[in-house]
Amino acid sequence: MIWHPSPNFGPRRDGLTPQFVVLHYTAMEGAEAALERLCDPEAEVSAHYLIGRDGTCWQMVEEDQRAWHAGVGSWMGVEDINSRSIGIELDNRGSEPFGEPLMAALEGLLRGILARWDLPAEAVIGHSDMAPGRKCDPGPRFDWARLVRQGLAASAPDGDAVSDVEEALRAAGYTADASPEARLTAFRMRFAQASAGPVTEAERRILGGLAARSSATILRG
């Protein structure tokens, strides 16, 4: 881990602590360019961590502080995701696979974060999940299935097929202000990357399982 402090941070608001980990891609040509931008006071953006293609990991903001990575959005009915999350930038343009060194480094980083803050695998989300339509990272090439196998992201549970897809998407966590099409696209990038066109029966079952699991989590909380 390389400490490379960014001036772009502040205290978490209202005494909030991390509830989520938000994954991004940099959409830049290299980690060095991304690091420069994330530490540029004029850019007014940052993240807690940046992972390069070769697995190098930089920390720019302390985890107990509020980095400026998520922007406007909502997840599971709550807003100000910056105050509720830890942001991780991944050195990738979004149109290419995420290589082994980067993914291995991400897995190690996630294990530590989830343990330190006592967070479940379901806490790991994409930028597109909390800002569908506005953001699409980490994108359709990101290997969510690999994180699921490591217990580092939510699986796609098989539940009762839903009839109201929009209601189920909201119940599953997609509560940001966005069109139904944007919500569906964000869901598919996470849980049904090969899907297109009309919602399938399999997707309706996944949504039913996600909605039921989210409800149970809220009730436990």
Pairing of strands 49-51, 2-3: unpaired
pLDDT number for residue 148: 97
Are the CB atoms for 182 and 132 separated by under 8 Å? yes
pLDDT number for residue 215: 59
80: left (phi over 0), alpha (psi -120 to 50) or beta: left
Q: Check whether the bond before 7 is cis (ω within 30° of 0).
A: no
Residue 26 has pLDDT above 80, yes or no: yes
Neighbouring residues of 87: CB distance < 8 A, sequence distance ≥ 6: 21, 22, 24, 46, 47, 48, 49, 67, 69, 70
Q: What is the mean pLDDT of residues 62-81?
A: 97
* CA atoms of 12 and 48, how far apart (whole Å): 13
pLDDT number for residue 194: 84
Confidence band of 213 (pLDDT split at 50, 70, 90): confident
Longest CA–CA span in the chain (Å) reads 49
User: Which tens digits make up the pLDDT trace of 42-58?
Assistant: 999 999 999 999 999 99
Residue 78 has pLDDT above 80, yes or no: yes
pLDDT number for residue 82: 98
Are the CB atoms for 214 and 187 separated by under 8 Å? no
Residue reference for tokens 């909030």: 16
User: Which tens digits make up the pLDDT trace of 89-114?
Assistant: 999 999 999 999 999 999 999 999 99
* CA atoms of 145 and 151, how far apart (whole Å): 10
Could you state, in order of their start, the residue ranges of all structural domains in the chain? 2-155, 156-221
Residue type at position 139 = G
Residue 3 has pLDDT above 50, yes or no: yes
User: Which tens digits make up the pLDDT trace of 175-189?
Assistant: 999 999 999 999 999
Residue 202 has pLDDT above 70, yes or no: yes
Are the CB atoms for 156 and 204 separated by under 8 Å? no
Catalytic residues: 89
pLDDT number for residue 99: 97
Confidence band of 221 (pLDDT split at 50, 70, 90): very low
pLDDT number for residue 149: 97
**DSSP secondary structure letter of residue 13:** G
pLDDT number for residue 214: 79
Residue 17 has pLDDT above 90, yes or no: yes
Mean pLDDT over all residues of the chain?
Answer: 94
* CA atoms of 18 and 5, how far apart (whole Å): 19
Q: Does domain 2-155 have CATH number 3.40.80.10?
A: yes
pLDDT number for residue 217: 55
* CA atoms of 172 and 74, how far apart (whole Å): 12
* CA atoms of 41 and 47, how far apart (whole Å): 13
Residue 135 has pLDDT above 50, yes or no: yes
